[in-house]
Structure 1
Amino acid sequence: MDSRPTIAEIDLAALRHNFDLVRRTVPAGCGMLAVVKADAYGHGFMDISRELEALGVTAFGVAFLAEGIQLRKSGIDRPVLILGGVYPGQERKCIGYNLSTALFSLDQARVLDEAAARLYRKAKVHVKIDTGMGRLGVAAADAPSFFRELRDLPHIELEGIISHFASADELDDEGRRYTDRQAAAFAEAVAAARSLGLSPRYVHIANSAAAFGMELPFCNLVRPGIVLYGALPSGDFEGRMALRPVMRLRSTVAMLKEVEPGTSISYARRYTSSERRLIASVPVGYADGYDRALTNRGEVLIRGERARVTGTVCMDWIMVDVTGIAGVRVGDDVTLLGCDSAGNCVRAEELAAWAGTIPYEIFCGISKRVPRVYLNASR
């Protein structure tokens, strides 16, 4: 083994648990489009996608064409939706690999229609309605005229209609009102399509947050993302979901040293000991995705106990204060994210709070130089 003892373990049994939790939560007959963009939020989307396909997921969501092609080349044959749409020149590959794409302009629709005609195929699209996210999509007020024009394009298959909630993870009154307004606008857009004789196979707006507890009877698909990987959509959901973290970022103690009072630790001397302390050096740093903002704030698990990051997070190293942890020695296991073998956890939500960010960024930030090791595969 030529690398360091720093790895990310991916527990596929935890993934199955979280998937089943979502499946039990959504209405009977409602499908699931698993969001596996950004390398399955840093978890490794090939292995994650294979496991989800074995679990019977309805479809997959990716960010752009290359991710969809990777899924197809790996043998995934479930529907795959390119959530960000295709760019000029990508239409033939999208159709050729039997990928579906989000659609949000008539110019885009006409180019897809022409490309599909040349291939003697149909282009599968999910029309994206902007109900209040303000990012991508046909304005909700323009939906009737858009669908009327789309209906005249013979090589376009309206596989779905899609929108995206902006505040479904905010459960205060203001957040709920905004989400309800978005849902109502989306329902009107879907009704407009149906009134024109269009019959989308999938209708979906619910992300991870909306999949838990929000009733959307006109939809038949949900798009879980962060919850599949074991993190809450926001702090408002604390105690509402019995999720299990899928990723465990772990390393080992590489060095132990006692330092005297007045000793500075790491760059810029942001920590100076006030008394004699026992400091452990651990081979992980911001180049691995352990955020520099965790300087003097982050906590890790060693022998089941918490140890505080001491001094500035380096590119390849952190130092932690293990004073008071009985029996600590070189080679001891260090859990930086996720749960240790005894079930003690440092959750992504905690790391995010310490770093001033969100769990999504914590997961996506774990770099490629950290090997992913997959545990408990179902096949």
Structure 2
Amino acid sequence: MAKAQETILEIDLSALTHNFNYLKSKLQPQTKFLAVVKAFAYGSDSIEVAKHLETLDVDYFAVAYANEGVNLRDAGITTPILVLHPQPINFKTIIERCLEPSIYSARILNEFIKVAKANSQTNYPVHIKFNTGLNRLGFWENDIDYIVSQLNETKSIVAKSLFSHLAASEDLKEVEFTNSQIKKFEHIAKEFENKIGYKPWVHLCNTSGIINYPNAHLDMVRSGIGLYGFGNSALEDKNLKPIASLKSIISQIHNIDKDESVGYNRAYKSQGFETIATIPIGHADGINRIYGNGKGFVFINEIKVPIIGNVCMDMIMVNVTGVDCKEGDEVIVFNFKNKASVLAESANTISYEILTSISQRVKRIYLAD
């Protein structure tokens, strides 16, 4: 692959294929696979990722918001798309674009039935979300009778699936809690099925659930971060390949004397004669201010160098004293070797945050499968 000549995000589609196949290998043949492509496919590119996964026969996609699903439909994606956090203002659009909403409260249920009726829908597929302990979205178990009664009173919608979300499937100290969630959801699903008179699909596992709880794969699993190369544990990270590499270049090199300052608010002052490199990437590109003042780092000619001073909107400065480098040299922010998760840990955050922060103004380059 060519060296970067500007700030770019390389997306390796062969790594995406590898991750998909690895996670699929954990499943029974009949278990469906839902790929989570919300948040611009975790900062990579939802359209290119979804197009590639369609070639691999993925069963479903999930997005957070309706407009994300609309963007996929506009790009020609035909695979079913679950909208995880829909709002009533978007219900008509959801129906028009053949998106499938998560129904997580009585308000959302009643509003969607109303819009489905107004648009002459019959058996429009919806996905009923239950809260089993994450306490974000979802009905409670004691809402089952109400949900069933509402569904039985209309022909406009039908429950295609029931689902919930594990709160700590990556944390092996929380196995007891996770198993309690699994049991609660299985009980909810059985009771719902008995009362509604048909069997919706059921799905519960996220990436860490796929890996750690094979007994809970049920009819379908949902994977987000795993597809993008992170398994939420050092062991599983070895089996996955990060698909995104964030690269830039050295724009300019400065030599400064002792006690000279660097950047806004003079946040960094040199300890002696030092060499400073400026790189065209900043907090508008996803390198948040938290990575400034020595917390974050980049790699130049395989040497780890610290970010100094405050991160600027469009630039960072790094200390390259003693490093053999020149203007125009490639800079690695993260890649398959120097992982985003390690950079994230330096600022006490997680890979999800740094990946999804990468601005859409950063040019994407796609490496063929």
Establish whether TM, by shorter chain, passes 0.5: yes
Q: How far does the alpha carbon of each residue in 1:42-70 deviate from its partner, in whole angstroms, 9 at most, with x for none?
A: 11111111011111111000112111122
Change (3 A) 1:157 1:47: same
Greater shift after overlay, 63-72 or 265-274? 265-274
Matched, 1:240 2:236: yes
Matched, 1:365 2:332: no
Counterpart contact for 1:113–1:154, Cα < 8 Å: no
SS in structure 2 at match of 1:226: coil
Map 1:161-310; keep pairs closer than 5 Å.
Answer: 161-172=162-173, 175-217=174-216, 219-233=218-232, 237-241=233-237, 242-295=239-292, 296-310=294-308
Change (3 A) 1:213 1:167: closer
Offset, 1:169 = 2.1
SS in structure 1 at match of 2:85: coil
Identity value in percent: 33
Match of 1:342 in 2: none
Counterpart contact for 1:299–1:309, Cα < 8 Å: yes
In structure 1, distance between residues paired with 2:45 and 2:121: 35
Q: How far does the alpha carbon of each residue in 1:182-233 deviate from its partner, in whole angstroms, 9 at most, with x for none?
A: 1111001100122125434421111111111203357111110011111233
In structure 2, distance between residues paired with 1:201 and 1:55: 25
Counterpart residue type for residue 372 of structure 1: R
Map 1:1-379; keep pairs closer than 5 Å.
Answer: 5-85=6-86, 87-117=87-117, 118-172=119-173, 175-217=174-216, 219-233=218-232, 237-241=233-237, 242-295=239-292, 296-326=294-324, 328-339=325-336, 345-376=337-368, 378=369
Q: How far does the alpha carbon of each residue in 1:253-310 deviate from its partner, in whole angstroms, 9 at most, with x for none?
A: 1112222233322223332222322221111111111111111121111112211112
Q: CA RMSD in A?
A: 1.9
Greater shift after overlay, 211-220 or 298-307? 211-220
Counterpart contact for 2:210–2:217, Cα < 8 Å: no
The gaps in structure 2 that reach 5 residues or longer are none
Query: Number of residue pairs matched?
Result: 362
Change (3 A) 1:31 1:60: same
In structure 2, distance between residues paired with 1:278 and 1:318: 14
In structure 2, distance between residues paired with 1:272 and 1:283: 21
In structure 2, distance between residues paired with 1:150 and 1:120: 13
Offset, 1:114 = 4.0
TM-score (norm 2): 0.92
Counterpart residue type for residue 291 of structure 1: N
Q: How far does the alpha carbon of each residue in 1:230-267 deviate from its partner, in whole angstroms, 9 at most, with x for none?
A: 1233xxx1122322111111111111222223332222
In structure 1, distance between residues paired with 2:256 and 2:178: 54
Counterpart contact for 1:144–1:192, Cα < 8 Å: no
SS in structure 2 at match of 1:281: strand
Counterpart residue type for residue 322 of structure 2: G
In structure 2, distance between residues paired with 1:79 and 1:129: 21
In structure 2, distance between residues paired with 1:127 and 1:114: 16
In structure 1, distance between residues paired with 2:322 and 2:98: 59
SS in structure 1 at match of 2:161: strand
Counterpart residue type for residue 65 of structure 1: A
Offset, 1:111 = 3.7
Counterpart contact for 2:169–2:212, Cα < 8 Å: no
Counterpart residue type for residue 213 of structure 1: N
Counterpart contact for 1:95–1:122, Cα < 8 Å: no
The gaps in structure 1 that reach 5 residues or longer are 340-344
